[in-house]
Amino acid sequence: MSLYSFSKDVAKVAKEAGNINLYSQILEIQEKALELQNENAELKKQIEELKDNSDIAKQLITQDNVYYLENVEGNDGPFCTGCWDNSSKLIRLHVNERDNARSLTNCTKCEKSVWSDLY
């Protein structure tokens, strides 16, 4: 039996017994229990996001001021170093210009521009 179910049963008994003070305190406990359950769910979600980010960080390699994801099929990218370093978001860079062996890439999120080797 969950804490919420238990407190609901106790609240029903208190209400039927006419103990309004106890009933209101139990309702407060129910409210706090619900808040704690919501907070717990949010914290679990944050833990999963941190685990995912940790897994991604282990695969990131830096080359020419951009990030690439290293995997068995080859490197994926390029990705913005600023967006990953500041907010753990993998934002793909887009090529704006090409100049011989270099390309000017741009991040659509933070608008950072980076010259790097053509990929």
Number of domains comprising the chain: 2
pLDDT tens digit sequence for 1-42: 677 677 777 777 777 878 788 888 888 888 898 899 999 999
Q: For tokens 């704690």, what's the residue? A: 36
For residues 78 and 50, give the distance between their C-alpha atoms in angstroms, rounded to a whole number.
22
Residue 89: phi and psi, rounded to 5, are: -115, 125
The model's pLDDT over 72-115, given as tens digits with 9 standing for 90+, comes to 777 888 999 999 999 999 999 988 877 777 788 889 999 888 88
Res. 118: pLDDT tops 70: no
The whole model's pTM is what?
0.60
**3-state SS, residue 77:** strand
Residues 85 and 113 placed together within one structural domain of the fold: yes
Same domain, 48 and 69: no
90 and 45 both lie in a single domain:
no
Same domain, 80 and 113: yes
Residue 58 lies in a domain: no
Phi-psi region of 106 (alpha: psi -120 to 50; beta: other; left: phi over 0): beta
